[in-house]
């Protein structure tokens, strides 16, 4: 009897604490429907990664309906999601630290731009900005052309066959390009690194996603006792063991002033990002070897997943609209009619319609549908106040489908990018590389890779396929899982 009374009393205490803790202020965003005692909205996460993507779409849509912001809870953690463009910018430029879920990758990326604490991010971003400016990025054009030619050549294996999944080909292209431009390896060494890196990083990203969906594994001591933790350590160490020896070898070459031809090719010359960082380490004491490794891994890992998936969606969009594909091909023919020529900086600047197609694909199929920030102080928005000690999710997917884009917001219309009057006046509504000061440092490089690769493919092949029946899942980024196969025919 006393046990029963104790349990009843405990339930009352828990409910009282829960009710007080979950109480909203008058200036708080509206609560998302479906709140349950103790667990909040955590039940909405139960399911596979396809379900996870539907949950993200749902909270974006609910935020739209409730005035651009909502509040929801995961167990004892308060979350907000913002879909108003001005509020998103205010939050992103007020709060620079990332919430604890980003710490899942700390053992691997630590001080890299995605996971670094704000103070470290600011200092390193200032040092590395010159290495990612447009003038420096243009020095990689010849190398990207070379890798794009290799991609086109490998795609010949699919001619005359049934529709296929093009993503593995794009992964190989993006990883090869990122590793070559960041590390400057010889061709044979690069192939070995590409293969090992792709196999390992895919498993590690899948593990991060699994942990995110299993709320009980968010607790560090529980995760540290799990088999998943042991698997993560093994994968993380494997990736470190790929990059660390390369850094040490190149560092020794520079220290002993050995001149090598590792960073030269028939197409041109460039200075790998590794060399640039080692130079900063010598001249400015800017980076340790471990920090250099973390930045290189961040750059390669981000390119691997985001750029390859973006290219899949863009390729499918091109295949789905014959008139768009023909217009891209005609533009390429006007700019560079000889199929054996590489694209120069001047040529790429003239491919304005292809760039419009890529931007429209990035808008409509947001590879990074959400980013998050740790709210460490109360943040005053236009209509609401976000409370400190909470987490805020910025709905990039929602910004790209905001009603301010016009009545054709859900239609694939590259022409909108050719006429400024058809674009929304608020620039914050287009944020495929995140929003605010802590955006992606590699956005120019990513756009250049996509533009060169797609130009090479379209001028060689006619693409068939449909994006209309595509099914996606959320696995760190948005990925197609079915209905995304394409076919290729050689152009005459």
Q: Write out the binding residues.
A: 440
Query: Which residues line the annotated binding site for heme?
Result: 440
CB 121 within 8 A of CB 96: yes
């Amino acid at each position: 009897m006393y046990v029963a009374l104790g349990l009843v009393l405990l339930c009352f205490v828990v409910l009282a604490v829960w009710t007080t803790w979950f109480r909203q202020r008058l200036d708080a965003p509206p609560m998302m429907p479906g709140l349950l005692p103790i667990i909040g909205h955590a039940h909405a996460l139960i399911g596979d990664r396809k379900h996870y993507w539907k949950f993200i779409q749902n909270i974006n849509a609910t935020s739209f309906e409730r005035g651009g912001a909502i509040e929801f809870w995961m167990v004892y953690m308060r979350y907000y999601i913002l879909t108003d463009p001005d509020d998103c910018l205010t939050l992103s430029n007020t709060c620079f630290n990332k919430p604890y879920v980003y710490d899942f990758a700390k053992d691997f990326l630590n001080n890299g731009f995605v996971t670094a604490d704000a103070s470290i991010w600011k200092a390193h971003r200032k040092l590395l900005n010159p290495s990612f400016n447009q003038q420096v990025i243009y020095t990689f054009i010849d190398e990207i052309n070379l890798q794009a030619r290799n991609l086109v050549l490998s795609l010949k294996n699919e001619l005359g066959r049934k529709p296929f999944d093009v993503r593995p080909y794009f992964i190989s292209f993006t990883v090869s390009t990122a590793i070559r431009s960041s590390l400057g390896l010889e061709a044979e060494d690069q192939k070995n690194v590409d293969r090992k890196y792709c196999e390992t990083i895919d498993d590690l990203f899948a593990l991060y996603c699994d942990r995110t969906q299993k709320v009980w594994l968010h607790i560090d001591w529980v995760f540290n006792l799990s088999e998943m933790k042991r698997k993560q350590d093994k994968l993380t160490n494997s990736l470190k063991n790929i990059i660390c020896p390369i850094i040490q070898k190149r560092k020794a070459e520079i220290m002993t002033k050995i001149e090598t031809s590792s960073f030269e090719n028939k197409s041109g010359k460039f200075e790998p990002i590794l060399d640039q960082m080692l130079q900063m380490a010598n001249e400015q004491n800017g980076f340790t070897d471990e920090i250099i490794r973390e930045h290189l891994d961040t750059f390669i890992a981000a390119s691997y997943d985001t750029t390859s998936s973006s290219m899949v969606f863009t390729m499918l969009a091109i295949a789905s609209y014959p008139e768009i594909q023909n217009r891209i091909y005609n533009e390429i023919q006007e700019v560079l009619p000889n199929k054996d020529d590489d694209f120069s900086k001047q040529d790429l600047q003239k491919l304005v319609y292809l760039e419009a197609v890529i931007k429209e694909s990035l808008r409509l199929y947001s590879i990074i549908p959400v980013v998050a920030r740790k709210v460490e102080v109360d943040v005053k928005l236009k209509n609401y106040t976000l409370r400190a000690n909470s987490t805020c999710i910025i709905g990039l997917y929602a910004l790209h489908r905001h009603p301010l884009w016009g009545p054709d917001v859900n239609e694939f219309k590259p022409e909108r990018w050719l006429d400024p009057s058809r674009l929304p006046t608020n620039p914050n509504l287009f944020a495929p590389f995140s929003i605010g000061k802590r955006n992606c440092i590699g956005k120019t490089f990513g756009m250049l890779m996509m533009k060169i690769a797609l130009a090479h493919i379209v001028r060689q092949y006619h693409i068939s396929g449909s994006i209309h029946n595509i099914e996606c899942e959320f696995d760190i980024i948005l990925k197609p899982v079915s209905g995304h196969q394409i076919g290729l025919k050689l152009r005459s």
